[in-house]
């Protein structure tokens, strides 16, 4: 990506919005009853749905202005789902090929999810935000690609610890359509962001937002690209050599970093975030207790 392209993409990135969506990606792990309770208590009359079909799960929360779709990561052990999912490449949205296991997982909920979103959009146009952690991030990217392919406008995508989703052609087509509104957060040594390997034909898409070892934001990603190119071991052993990479993958780590850096990154006089999040809402950042 050229310097001008990088500046253009960064200009659309709001750390506060990223923090809100990171909280959504963390809350969705608490299960449908807990998420629905929080939504009803804090969002009043906002619409809420939880889709749980054949181990694929996602929540949908909507109000007058926005729809937020949050895909949940897997409940399996990290090494289990990384190895178990079919890494074959199959034809996907926007052209190119995508991860068959991820695409099959999205297909489980797609019919019901798409019908719900289309109905809400028919009632009145709203912003559509997608987010998710780990496997959930991969599903969010695929859903964004699929909706874009079908003419549904997607406002923004924020993923955390997301694996690669498709091949070079898919990544190129995705970036042409969505790069400036799609942000892929990577925390330092997060090992899942390196799977599936490039040797299997996979390539990342979206705008990289990289967190350094010190919790600082790096948009260039030079060190991270060097890190990516340094590993060429067997796919099954990818989780054996980097314990820190597994720790850095935790959604709680992403939330903590964003909570710490969001105030400092927000420019003075910045406009109000377009993502609606009233105080105390499901997506509002939590206040940390004093030590």
Q: What is the DSSP string of the chain?
A: --HHHHHHHHHT--HHHHHHHHHHHHHGGG-HHHHHHHHHHHHTT-EEEEEEETTEEEEEEE-SSEEEEEEPPPSS-HHHHHHHS---EEE-TTSSEEEHHHHHHHHHHHHHHHHHHHHHHHHS--EEEEEEETHHHHHHHHHHHHHHHTT----EEEEESPPP-B-HHHHHHHHHHHGGGEEEEEETT-GGGG-S-GGGT-B--SEEEEE-TTS-EESS-HHHHHHHHT----GGGTTTS-HHHHHTT-HHHHHHHHHHHHHHHSPTTPPPPSS---TTSTTSPPPPPP-
For residue 81, what pLDDT is reported? 60
Residue 286: what pLDDT?
Answer: 39
For residue 247, the model assigns a pLDDT of: 85
The CATH class for the domain spanning 3-265 reads alpha beta
- pLDDT of res. 41: 63
Write out residues in the chain with pLDDT < 70, as ranges.
Answer: 1-11, 38-45, 75-85, 219-245, 264-291
The structural domains of the chain, with segments of one domain joined by +, span: 3-265
| pTM across the whole model | 0.83
């Amino acid at each position: 990506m050229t310097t001008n392209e990088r500046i253009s993409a960064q200009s659309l990135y709001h750390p506060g919005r990223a923090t809100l969506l990171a909280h959504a990606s963390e809350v969705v792990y608490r299960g449908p009853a807990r998420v629905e309770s929080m939504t009803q208590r804090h969002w009043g009359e906002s619409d809420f749905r939880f889709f749980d079909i054949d181990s694929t799960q996602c929540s949908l929360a909507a109000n007058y202005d926005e729809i937020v779709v949050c895909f949940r990561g897997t409940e399996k052990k990290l090494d289990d789902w990384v190895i178990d999912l079919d890494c074959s490449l199959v034809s996907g949205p926007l052209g190119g090929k995508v991860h068959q296991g991820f695409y099959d997982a999205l297909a489980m909920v797609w019919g019901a999810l798409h019908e719900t979103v289309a109905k809400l959009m028919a009632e009145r146009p709203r912003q559509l935000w997608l987010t998710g952690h780990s496997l959930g991030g991969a599903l969010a990217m695929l859903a964004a690609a699929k909706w874009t392919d079908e003419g549904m406008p997607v406002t923004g995508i924020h993923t955390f610890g997301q694996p690669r989703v498709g091949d070079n052609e898919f990544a190129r087509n995705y970036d042409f359509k969505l790069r400036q509104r799609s942000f892929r957060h990577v925390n330092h040594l997060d090992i899942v962001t390196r799977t599936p390997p490039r040797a299997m034909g996979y390539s990342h898409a979206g705008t990289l937002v990289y967190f350094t070892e010190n919790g600082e934001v790096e948009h260039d990603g030079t060190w991270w690209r060097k890190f990516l190119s340094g590993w060429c071991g067997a796919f099954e052993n990818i989780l054996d050599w980097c314990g820190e990479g597994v720790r850095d993958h935790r959604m709680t780590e992403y939330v903590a970093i964003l909570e710490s850096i969001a105030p400092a990154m927000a420019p003075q006089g910045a406009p109000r975030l377009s993502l609606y999040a009233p105080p105390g809402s499901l997506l509002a950042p939590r206040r940390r207790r004093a030590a």
